[in-house]
C-alpha cells in the first residue's frame, strides 16, 4: 500500500507582504497545525517523507510536521508552489514504493484539484488551511485510483 496525504499549508500572517512567497505562518496557524499533526500521529497517519512547496508558509508547515513526526525528512519541490498542474504533481510521486507514506504540503487551488482527481471523494468548498486529506493506493498512483481514508482539518 502507498499512502499520499495532501496538506494545505497552515494559516499565514494576513499582513501585506511585498513578496507573497515569504509570507510566514501566523501564531494561530502554527498552533492549529501542530494540533492537526498530533491528531494525524494519534491516528497512525505517519509520513516517511514530506515534500513541500518552497514558499515560506508551506515550508514552515512542513517543519511543524517534521518536528511532530520525530524529524522525518523534508524535501522542497517547486512542483508544489501552486503554479504547476496536478498532472505534474502525480508525475513527481508516481515512483513511490509500497509502504511509503508521503505528505505533500502545498497551496490551494492545487490541493483541492488534486483531491478531486485522486479518488471518488470530492471537496466542494476547498481544502481548509491545515487540512490533510489521506488517500491509499494499492498499486499505481493515478487519478481515480485513490482510496479515500479521511480528511483531518480544523
The per-residue pLDDT for 16 is: 73
The pTM assigned to this predicted structure is 0.95
100 touches 49 (CB < 8 A): yes
Would you list the domain boundaries of the chain?
Answer: 2-152
* pLDDT tens, residue by residue, 126-151: 899 999 999 999 989 999 999 999 99
Distance between CA 8 and CA 127 in Å, rounded?
Answer: 7
53 near 107, Cβ under 8 Å?
Answer: yes
pLDDT for 119: 85
Q: Compute the distance between CA of residue 121 and CA of residue 100 in angstroms, rounded to an integer.
A: 22
pLDDT, tens only, 63-115: 999 999 999 999 999 999 999 999 999 998 989 999 999 999 999 999 999 99
- By CB atoms closer than 10 A (0-12, 13-18, 19+), residue 39 is middle
**DSSP letters spanning 53-101:** -SSHHHHHHHHHHHHHTTT--EEE-GGGSSSS-HHHHHHHHTTPPTT-E
What does CATH list as the number for 2-152? Answer: 3.40.50.1240
Average pLDDT of every residue of the chain: 94
**Has residue 15 got a pLDDT over 90?**
no
Amino acid at each position: 500500500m502507498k499512502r499520499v496525504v495532501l496538506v494545505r499549508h497552515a494559516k499565514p500572517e494576513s499582513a501585506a507582504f511585498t513578496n507573497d512567497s515569504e509570507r510566514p505562518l501566523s501564531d494561530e496557524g502554527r498552533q492549529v497545525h501542530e494540533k492537526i499533526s498530533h491528531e494525524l500521529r494519534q491516528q497512525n497517519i505517519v509520513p516517511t517523507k514530506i515534500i513541500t512547496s518552497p514558499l515560506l508558509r508551506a515550508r514552515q508547515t512542513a517543519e511543524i510536521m517534521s518536528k511532530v513526526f520525530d524529524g522525518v525528512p523534508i524535501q522542497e519541490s517547486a512542483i508544489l508552489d501552486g503554479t504547476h498542474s496536478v498532472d505534474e504533481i502525480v508525475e513527481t510521486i508516481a515512483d513511490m514504493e509500497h509502504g511509503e507514506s508521503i505528505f505533500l504540503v502545498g497551496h490551494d487551488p492545487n490541493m483541492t484539484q488534486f483531491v478531486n482527481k485522486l479518488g471518488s471523494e470530492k471537496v466542494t468548498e476547498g481544502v481548509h488551511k491545515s487540512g490533510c486529506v489521506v488517500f491509499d493506493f494499492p498499486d499505481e498512483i493515478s487519478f481515480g485510483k485513490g482510496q479515500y481514508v479521511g480528511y483531518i482539518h480544523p
